Structure 1
Amino acid sequence: MPFAFTTSVPSSRGAMSFANSTTANVSPAMLVAMSTMVTTASSATFLSIEDETSVHVAKMLARNNTLTALNLGKHRMRDHGCHTLVDYGLTRNATLRKLNLRCNELTEMGGAAIHRLLTQHPEVTWLDLSCNRLATRGVMDVAQALPFNYTLDHLDVHSNGIESDGIVALAENALRSTRLTSLRLWGNHIGVRAAEAVMQLVTDSAEDTRPLELDVEPYEVGDRVCVARLSPNEPPSAVVMSVA
């Protein structure tokens, strides 16, 4: 299946030029050559990827020494492809900072790969896993990696079918993270116990010198804690102020 590769590489660096952010349509077979030639790009967006071609993307990542942002959203990527990218590419890349894996087909089996990414690729600062199917088991693997990652600023796991146990694990481990300042949770199954954990997270982070920005706002109705989606236009401090 053909797909488009978008990047920018000065024409002086090779016969195949992607200067001025041009787009070239290539077949999966051509990606083997691309993984060798495109080793100095600073950003890349792949518009289609399947598990077989993820091997070649991983090869490119392992060799690239300038890539800082990679967009692999909406690629029908499955768990096996994610494991391949992490084990053979991302953990061997020392420059990537931002990774977008939103709207793929990752399930709870993919959580272990993300755990390895966060613990073995400490350079990543921004990670979007939204609109996958990580569910509770998968996101618990992600959550357990947070205390051992010292660079991640932003984590988005909204709309992943996460139940209360997963939300609680995220809330507890977010507090143990020394760097996380932005967490997206909306679109999951946030029951009473999970809402209480979010309330505690907001309260504790408000006392920290590193307040956490959320996309949900906890509130009390009688003796019951609920959460509401925070408007995108609300300032980051709104969550903290609502509990003060």
Structure 2
Amino acid sequence: MFNDIQANGAQVLASSLQGNSTLLSLRLSGNKIGRGGGLELASMLQENCALQELEVADCDLDTSSIIALIIMLKKNKALCSVDISRPLLFSHQEEWAVHCSKMLAVNSSLMELHLGRMGMTDTGIEQLTEGLGRNNSLRYLDLCSNRVTRDGAFHLAMMLKQNRALEILDLSSNQIGDGGAGYLSKAITCPRSTLKELSVCRNNITSEGLLLLAQAVKSSSTLTHMYIWGNHLEDPVCQAFKELISSGRLHPEQTDVSPYEVDGHVFLAEVFQSLRKPVYNIDCNVQRNGNKRKDFTE
């Protein structure tokens, strides 16, 4: 990663991996391989059936190379973790989201997908959730630093009521506000929800929405991790999260806030903890049989 590898270097790597059956993880993030390099990797992944993890974040991929990689995931049955965050997308049509939705509807191997800094709007989220509603394998979805608002959170909440696989959702650095927090709170407490970890840091949520999320944590039978720093942490919110933590419902190591008192008033301090990245790890000491995949860590 971050080694000044460009399109020609990506072509060499793609060629060497065409028939490779041993390499499990390829992390190229930060190398500006651009459109040409992205297309070469997509072509290689049509043949390679061993690679399980691919990271090409911040690689200056364009719309065509992103779409090529997504379409490849319709057929590739080996990849379990993919990061295509922070590409260079100049179109506002979000064509890639349509292709991603169609891919997720049929893909049965992908367990972790990072789509941070994609410029995704509520329209893109709506398209994406159509496929997610039919997906049974994805367990970690990263949507951080996009342009998701209340309406996008609504579509995600509707999806969470249908999807029986997703366990980790990263919505940090968006703009879902109180309305979006309310939609997610209802989805979290839905009997069908399997969500275990949620990050809504830096989403312009006030006491109204944060108190709904606190109540959802208390009521949920599955949610164990909640990250809220960067929102409006007023007195009622500080008190609610203090009670969650002191009661043992929210473990101190599974949130990013810690309560303290000054002159009888409760405040929350930031704790530098966040969603585990990545959570999907390869055990290279285990002999692989056929298409044996990595385990999702607890």
Q: Same fold (TM over 0.5)?
A: yes
Q: Say if 1:150 and 1:30 are closer, same or farther in 2 by CA, change over 3 A.
A: closer
Query: Is 1:107 matched up with 2:149?
Result: yes
1:43 aligned onto 2:81:
yes
Contact map agreement 1:3 1:26 (CA 8 A) in 2: no
Aligned 8 A contact 1:3 1:46 in 2:
no
Other structure's SS at 1:196 match: helix
Q: CA deviation at 1:43?
A: 2.1
* Residues 5 and 156 of structure 1: CA distance in aligned 2, closer, same or farther (over 3 Å): farther
Q: Is the 8 A contact 1:2 1:26 kept in 2?
A: yes
Task: State the match for 1:139 in structure 2.
Answer: 181
The corresponding residue for 2:267 is 226
Within 2, Cα distance between the matches of 1:132 and 1:103?
6
Question: Identity, % of aligned pairs?
Answer: 29
Distance 1:131 1:191 in 2: 19
Q: Secondary structure at the match of 1:167?
A: helix
Match runs of 1:1-244 below 5 Å = 14-15=46-47, 17=48, 20=51, 21=54, 27-28=63-64, 31=67, 34-35=70-71, 38-39=74-75, 40=77, 41-47=79-85, 48=87, 51-87=94-130, 89-148=131-190, 149-204=192-247, 206=248, 211=251, 213-232=254-273
- In structure 1, stretches of 5+ residues that fail to align are 234-244
Count of residue correspondences: 226
Structure 2 unaligned spans of 5+: 1-33, 275-298
Please identify runs of 4+ aligned residues in structure 1 that moved more than 3 A: 1-6, 17-30, 36-39, 47-50
Q: Please provide the CA RMSD for this pair.
A: 3.2
More helix by share: 1
Which secondary structure state, in structure 2, belongs to the residue aligned with residue 171 of structure 1? Answer: helix
AA matched with 2:256: D
